[in-house]
Amino acid sequence: MSTKRQQAIEKLREVLLRRRDALRKALAGDLSSLRELRSKSGGDWADIAADAAQDEMSCQLAEVEARELAQIEAALERMRNGTYGICEVTGKPIPLARLQALPYATMCIEAQRELEKQMRSGRRTVDWSRVAEAVRDFDEDEDSEAVLNDLETD
């Protein structure tokens, strides 16, 4: 691995650690405010409905934040074991531009696109060998650099 890539990955590690800490704090706050809302009693029906709606939005936000936190933890683990930045389908390095846009990406753009294509076609399970084959075909057909549209997210 080049020194430039190593330095970029170290910066991404710092970004991931800061985001992880922020998410942990946010989730701790969300949970305490939810408990506080639930412990309140009384009020008219409008208050109860408004509290229920707020409670639902807080739960959904906490779920999204918890999912992101899990992805960040997994990325930090891949950094520790030396597999960070390697596509889990093709085994090739994920471009730095993609990692900078989505530091916890686990697949290169081509593999992600093929996965999404298979999911849209209604397949419940993904045949990873077919994804890898489609990515190899893409790599052989295209000789272009990444463009902004290639920075799709997971």
Task: Yes or no: say if 138 and 122 are a contact pair by the CB < 8 Å rule.
Answer: no
Q: What is the pLDDT of residue 112?
A: 93
CATH 1.20.120.910 positions along the chain are 1-84
The pLDDT tens digits of the residues spanning 109-135 come to 999 999 999 888 886 565 666 666 655
> In the chain, how long is the greatest CA-to-CA distance?
66
Could you tell me if 20 and 72 are in contact, meaning their C-beta atoms sit under 8 angstroms apart?
A: yes
Q: Tell me the per-residue pLDDT of 4-61, one tens digit each, with 9 for 90 and over.
A: 999 999 999 999 999 999 998 888 876 565 555 555 545 567 766 676 776 677 687 8
Assigned CATH class of 1-84: mainly alpha
pTM score, whole prediction: 0.63
Q: Identify residue 22 by its one-letter amino acid code.
A: A
Nearest to residue 117, comparing CAs of 152, 87, 88?
152
